[in-house]
Amino acid sequence: MNKRQTITDTLIEPSERVTVEAGQKITYIVPILGSVAEPRQREIVLAGEGAEAEIIGLFLGHGDDVLNLKLDTTHAAPRTRGRTEFRAVLADRAQLEFNGMIKILKGAQGSNDFLQQDSLLLSSDAKANAVPGLEIEANEVKASHGATAKPVDPEQKFYLMSRGLSEEQAERMIVQGFLSMLIKKIDDRGWRDKIQKSVREKFLLKEG
């Protein structure tokens, strides 16, 4: 049984293509803790039968931070598996432009993929535009996608405050809850700590 490989990509290069061979399994982490000035493009190609890729991404934006990312997963062989989860927390005037595509080529029968992008908007000036898509040439596959962009739920915040939390504490819990399941999937303790520290600093969330 092949061991799962972890790749961490902070989007330094404008574009990259990662090929996953037969039987290979990868976890592809995209932890973006600040602005990326120019558009970025990534393609994960599941090139061999049984190849698998789990893509975990997050963007923490505040001030005038921006991220423009095109992220494609291409299934080029039978019985390949993919899953992409990308979450963003945006404050002030931060902006996210996310284009995600699942491509399943004609020979990739029996493949399965899912793409989800969710954004939490902490300011009325923060913007998130997500465009997920499917290009399917095979007929025996499973593929779906979704995207959301919404502000903090006022009812959820009110409920937490009614339990004795301050407004800041309530918002902190909502942000942390929004990111927690994604952060837990990151095996690297160093990156988990960096992300938690960045959340506290960017969104003025205090420990405790």
Confidence of residue 206 (pLDDT cuts 50, 70, 90): very low
Structure tokens given for 39? 């558009």
Confidence of residue 165 (pLDDT cuts 50, 70, 90): confident
- Report whether 85 contacts 56 (CB < 8 A): yes
Confidence of residue 84 (pLDDT cuts 50, 70, 90): very high
As to burial, measured by CB atoms within 10 angstroms (0-12 exposed, 13-18 middle, 19+ buried), residue 25 is middle
Q: How far apart are the C-alpha atoms of 112 and 68, rounded to whole Å? A: 26
pLDDT digits (tens, 9 = 90+) for 94-127: 999 999 999 999 999 999 999 999 999 999 999 9
Give residues with Cβ within 8 angstroms of 187, minimum separation 6.
6, 27
| Model pLDDT, residue 61 | 95
Q: How far apart are the C-alpha atoms of 102 and 145, rounded to whole Å? A: 9
Structure tokens given for 139? 């007929």
Mean pLDDT of 65-82: 98
Give Cα separations from 21 to 5, 18, 26, 78 (angstroms). Answer: 12, 10, 10, 12
Confidence of residue 14 (pLDDT cuts 50, 70, 90): very high
